[in-house]
Chain A
Amino acid sequence: MLELIVISTLNGVLFGMLLFLLSSGLTVIFSMMGVLNFAHASFYMLGAFFGFQLTKWIGFWPALVLAPLLVGAIGMAVERYGLRNTHKHGHVAELLLTFGLAFAIEEIVSMIWGKSPVDYRVPALLDFPAFTIFSTNYPAYKLFMLAVSIVIFIALLIVLKRTRVGLIVQAALTHPHMVGHLGHNVGRVFMAVFGVGSALAGLAGVIAGPALVTQSDMAAALGPILFVVIVFGGLGSLPGAFIASLVIGLVQTFAVALDGSLASAFGPLDPSAGPSVLTDIWNVTIAQVAPIVPYLLLVIILIVRPMGLMGTRES
């Protein structure tokens, strides 16, 4: 049991940090521009596939730098030529643009790389067990992922809290118009933030690709969870996004690892009652419920605290 707790905690924190790499960009973009970027998870997927392709051509380490830059460039182009032109039609149009984009990116990816998973492997340099804990080998690559996410997290924190650029971004989070009035080129700030956010998502894709499955439906699978994270944490709140990422990461990892059901806890139901909704619920294991746990959390938080954990805004 202790083994399960330790390993699941490690994996959960790792998944949570990955989620934060994505949700941080998403929530900053949302607060500044009012755009919920539906294509954010698609940028993550693009990162994974670019990482896979570039690893094949030039190796993993250059890919680790180049792929996020490429994704960031695509993100900036989307902001400059797509969102900026759509802005005049309102937020719903912007949201729908990113929705269509997510749809198109998924189709393009499956058109180029096929619908089945690609063989994106852990680089040989990191392909060894880092340590053995209670008979389980913990792969070094996962520690590397954790390290990268933490480094990015700290870098983001320093940039946002200690630099002039961060100051402008922070100001634009709450008072975008005022920042514009003060003479900053808000358009360029938006484009840069969108680019950095997409690049972070791309980076998450590059490092997550070998550990998770790199497949054309990975964006569709992760996207909704990402939205749960930023609603759960409170829209536009970076600390909220951080806490929510860790909570969702841990909850989901533990749920997958646990095999218990109500039947195993309290014994099977009377078989003469026949199959019903009750027997379904009684017999389902926690691992089977894992995919819906984030959404259940979403519904609960909406009833208990509609603005999210750390959110301050009503809309």
Chain B
Amino acid sequence: MTAKVTPTSTSASNAPGKPAGDGLRFYGVWLLGIAALIVLPMLFSSGGSLTSFSLIGIAIVFALSYNILLGQTGLLSFGHAVHYGLGGFAACHMMNAVVAHKWPIPLPFIPLFGGLGGLVFAIIIGWVMTKRAGTVFAMISLGIGELVASSSLILRSVFGGESGVTTDRTALPKMFGWSFGPQLQVYYLIAFWLVLSAIAMYALTRTPLGRISNAVRDNPERVQFIGYDPHVVRYLAFCFAGFFAGVAGGLAAINFEIANSAYLGAIQSGLVLFSTFIGGTAYFFGPILGAILVTYLQLGLTSVTSVWQLYFGIIFIGIVMFSPGGIAGLLMMHRPLVRAGTLRTVILSYLVAVVPTVALACGVILAIETVARFSGGETINLFGIGFKPQSPVTWIVALVLLVGGGFVARLSWGRIAEAWDRAATVARDRGYLA
């Protein structure tokens, strides 16, 4: 009931034994998602949006696989892209082998081999890595990530050195007469694997293994007392995460028709961590939101500003400091208020806060862009208004927005907190919030 308090609320909404209406809603959400995946390319059929949808689909599978570690088992990995990259390489080599040996394996089965690539590495390295959880695991994953990324440049015959391994997805045997040349067909392939993986990963959270993983995350000592070995549980979760990351890597290999060492690198590992954490780790749909947002921002911002990664960093720091539950956590905080019918006052305070917060954000953006473009002198275009980075007017506007917006925004945030407290008190009285 209390989404905010129980960390295991991934499953809180549809635990068995609930009324039939909940089951209907549960399947309805999944069917709605699948329908959206089918309909989307018909609504937005341009090449650019198809490419974006494909990338987002891959990112979602990857982020969901990462959440098996971070959200389900409490393992913070800084090297998850290793499995993604190895999956990509496995898929590329498999595709080339299929073409060379004329095996009757059509393209839609290739991500499975990507998954196996990620899984095999997880099986080999996982036992040592998952001996300990927490900070030690985080550092080891970082070290292993660097090790694999550096090794990939040395083992040229497997990883193809700097240029990577290329492949041709259309040379594989056809399935349903599809050649998988057009992006639309690749999109549907990715969407198919996205649905399959999402269902599998959701099902995983409902198995005894998924449950005991949550227990290992929350209290490993207790898990030991009831007769489970947390090391084994972590290892199994690590292997599953590796498999699905490999599937995502295989999909990426199909999409780009290349696998190179950038797939394995620290940047990729950082991105998946950002996606998952920004989306929210406590809910199954959190990483999905995060992957959509981060990929969309990544694609959208790169064309607008050269320092898009800085905005990522700032968003990430903001989420870590003010909303560690991520976007999903923020959304789900409102559920008891909606049920209690006390959301209205909170929404009003939000509306009041919108203007100063946007002003503050504009100040931050203007200040960053002024510094970034100072030497180049390109005009900053903010909501159709051009600002010259060298002119003092821009600096003053940025300063006023930063200080003034910041001051008023803080006041309005205080009011949100008050309104929230009041609404939560009423909701608690009505029995919707513990």
- Which residues does chain B contribute within 8 Å of A292, judged by CB atoms? 146-147, 150-151, 154
Indicate whether A315 sits within 8 Å of B313 (C-beta atoms), given known contacts A112-B371, A291-B150, A295-B150: no
Q: In chain A, what residue has the closest Cβ to B375?
A: A114
Q: In chain B, what residue has the closest Cβ to A102?
A: B313
Q: Are B154 and A91 in contact (CB under 8 A)?
A: no
A227–B139 Cα gap in the complex (Å)? 6
- Which residues does chain A contribute within 8 Å of B156, judged by CB atoms? 275, 280
Indicate whether A104 sits within 8 Å of B139 (C-beta atoms), given known contacts A224-B146, A277-B158, A314-B132: no
A96 at the interface (CB under 8 A from B): yes
Q: Are A315 and B320 in contact (CB under 8 A)?
A: no
A86–B324 Cα gap in the complex (Å)? 9
B321 at the interface (CB under 8 A from A): yes
- Which residues does chain B contribute within 8 Å of A211, judged by CB atoms? none
Closest Cβ of chain B to A46, distance in Å, is: 15
- Which residues does chain A contribute within 8 Å of B309, judged by CB atoms? 103, 107
Partner of A103, one of B128, B133, B270: B270
Q: Are A315 and B133 in contact (CB under 8 A)?
A: yes
**Chain A positions 270-303 with a Cβ under 8 Å from a chain B Cβ:** 275-277, 279-281, 284, 288-289, 291-292, 294-296, 298-299, 302-303
A163–B140 Cα gap in the complex (Å)? 35
Q: Fill in one digit per residue for B265-289: 1 if any A CB lies within 8 Å of its CB, else 0.
A: 0100010010001000000000000
Q: Are A104 and B314 in contact (CB under 8 A)?
A: yes
B316 at the interface (CB under 8 A from A): yes
Q: Are B131 and A306 in contact (CB under 8 A)?
A: yes
B333 at the interface (CB under 8 A from A): no
Q: Are A97 and B320 in contact (CB under 8 A)?
A: yes
Q: Are B150 and A100 in contact (CB under 8 A)?
A: no
A86–B74 Cα gap in the complex (Å)? 18
Q: Are A231 and B143 in contact (CB under 8 A)?
A: yes
Q: Are A86 and B320 in contact (CB under 8 A)?
A: yes
B155 at the interface (CB under 8 A from A): yes
A111 at the interface (CB under 8 A from B): yes
B196 at the interface (CB under 8 A from A): no
Indicate whether A227 sits within 8 Å of B157 (C-beta atoms), given known contacts A91-B134, A93-B320, A100-B320: no
Partner of A101, one of B151, B266, B317: B317
Q: Are A89 and B324 in contact (CB under 8 A)?
A: yes
- Which residues does chain B contribute within 8 Å of A246, judged by CB atoms? none
Highest count of chain B CB atoms <10 Å: which of A100, A112, A303: A100
Q: Are A280 and B143 in contact (CB under 8 A)?
A: no
Q: In chain B, what residue has the closest Cβ to A225?
A: B146
**Chain B positions 301-338 with a Cβ under 8 Å from a chain A Cβ:** 307, 309-310, 312-314, 316-317, 320-321, 324
Q: Is chain A's binding surface mostly helix, strand, loop or mixed? A: helix
Q: Are B139 and A103 in contact (CB under 8 A)?
A: no
B144 at the interface (CB under 8 A from A): yes
- Which residues does chain A contribute within 8 Å of B158, judged by CB atoms? 277, 280
B120 at the interface (CB under 8 A from A): no
Q: Are A276 and B142 in contact (CB under 8 A)?
A: no
Indicate whether A315 sits within 8 Å of B134 (C-beta atoms), given known contacts A220-B266, A280-B156, A288-B154: yes
A228 at the interface (CB under 8 A from B): yes
B76 at the interface (CB under 8 A from A): yes
Partner of A224, one of B135, B143, B151: B143
For the side of the interface on B, what is the size category?
A: 35 or more
A85 at the interface (CB under 8 A from B): yes
A36 at the interface (CB under 8 A from B): yes
B138 at the interface (CB under 8 A from A): yes
A108 at the interface (CB under 8 A from B): yes
B372 at the interface (CB under 8 A from A): yes
A95 at the interface (CB under 8 A from B): yes
**Chain B positions 4-18 with a Cβ under 8 Å from a chain A Cβ:** none
A92 at the interface (CB under 8 A from B): yes
**Chain B positions 152-177 with a Cβ under 8 Å from a chain A Cβ:** 154-158
A235 at the interface (CB under 8 A from B): yes
B136 at the interface (CB under 8 A from A): yes
Q: Are A280 and B277 in contact (CB under 8 A)?
A: no
Indicate whether A36 sits within 8 Å of B147 (C-beta atoms), given known contacts A96-B277, A315-B133: no
Closest Cβ of chain A to B24, distance in Å, is: 36
Closest Cβ of chain A to B274, distance in Å, is: 8
A101–B146 Cα gap in the complex (Å)? 20
A139 at the interface (CB under 8 A from B): no
- Which residues does chain A contribute within 8 Å of B321, judged by CB atoms? 82, 85-86, 97
A142–B302 Cα gap in the complex (Å)? 41
A95–B307 Cα gap in the complex (Å)? 23
Indicate whether A295 sits within 8 Å of B144 (C-beta atoms), given known contacts A82-B321, A107-B307: yes
- Which residues does chain A contribute within 8 Å of B129, judged by CB atoms? 302
Partner of A289, one of B136, B138, B154, B277: B154
**Chain A positions 110-145 with a Cβ under 8 Å from a chain B Cβ:** 111-112
A296–B144 Cα gap in the complex (Å)? 9
Indicate whether A235 sits within 8 Å of B136 (C-beta atoms), given known contacts A97-B317, A103-B270, A111-B371: yes
A296–B307 Cα gap in the complex (Å)? 34
Q: Are A302 and B140 in contact (CB under 8 A)?
A: yes
A291–B149 Cα gap in the complex (Å)? 10
Q: Are B277 and A36 in contact (CB under 8 A)?
A: no
Partner of A104, one of B138, B147, B317, B371: B317
- Which residues does chain A contribute within 8 Å of B314, judged by CB atoms? 104
Q: Are B138 and A95 in contact (CB under 8 A)?
A: yes
Q: Are B128 and A111 in contact (CB under 8 A)?
A: no
Q: Are B132 and A315 in contact (CB under 8 A)?
A: yes
Can you pick out 13 interface pairs between chain A and chain B where the beta carbons lie within 8 Å of each other?
A: A30-B135, A82-B321, A85-B321, A92-B76, A95-B138, A97-B321, A100-B313, A104-B313, A104-B314, A112-B371, A224-B142, A275-B157, A315-B134
Can you add 4 more A-B contacts, CB < 8 Å, to A111-B307, A289-B154, A315-B132?
A99-B78, A104-B313, A227-B142, A295-B143
Q: CB within 8 Å of B: which residues of A?
A: 30, 34, 36, 82, 85-86, 89, 91-93, 95-97, 99-101, 103-104, 107-108, 111-112, 220, 224, 227-228, 230-231, 235, 275-277, 279-281, 284, 288-289, 291-292, 294-296, 298-299, 302-303, 306, 314-315
Q: CB within 8 Å of A: which residues of B?
A: 74, 76, 78, 128-129, 131-136, 138-140, 142-144, 146-147, 150-151, 154-158, 266, 270, 273, 277, 307, 309-310, 312-314, 316-317, 320-321, 324, 368, 371-372
Top 8 nearest A-B pairs by Cβ distance? A104-B313, A295-B147, A107-B310, A100-B317, A103-B313, A100-B316, A292-B150, A89-B324
